[in-house]
Amino acid sequence: MALPPAPPRPKREINASALDQIEALGIDIRQDHPLANLTTIKIGGPADYFAAVTDTHKLLKLARWARANDLPYLILGGGSNVLISDRGIRGLVIHNRCHAVQVQDAPCCDYPKDTRPFLFAESGALMAGAARTAVNAGLTGLEWAVSVPGSVGGAVVNNAGAHGGEVKDSLWDVLLLDGNGDIQVFRVEDLAYAYRQSSLKQEGGTDAGFGPVLLSANFRLQTGDRDTIRAAAQSFLGHRRSTQPVEPSLGSTFVNPPGDFAGRLIEESGLKGFRLGGIEVSRTHANFLINPGGVGAAAAADVLAMIQHIQTVVARRSGVELQPELQRIGEW
**Which residues participate in catalysis according to the annotation?**
196, 252, 325
Centroid of chain to Cα 141:
20
Cβ atoms 134, 221 nearer than 8 A: yes
Q: Residue 33 forms beta bridges with which residues?
A: 47
What beta strand segments (E) does the chain contain? 30-33, 47-53, 73-76, 82-84, 89-96, 101-104, 118-122, 139-140, 161-162, 165-166, 171-177, 183-187, 213-220, 222-223, 249-252, 275-276, 279-281, 288-290, 327-329
Evaluate the CA torsion angle 12, 16, 21, 22 in order and state its sign.
positive
φ and ψ at 316, to 5 degrees? -65, -40
- Amino acid identity of residue 214, one-letter, is L
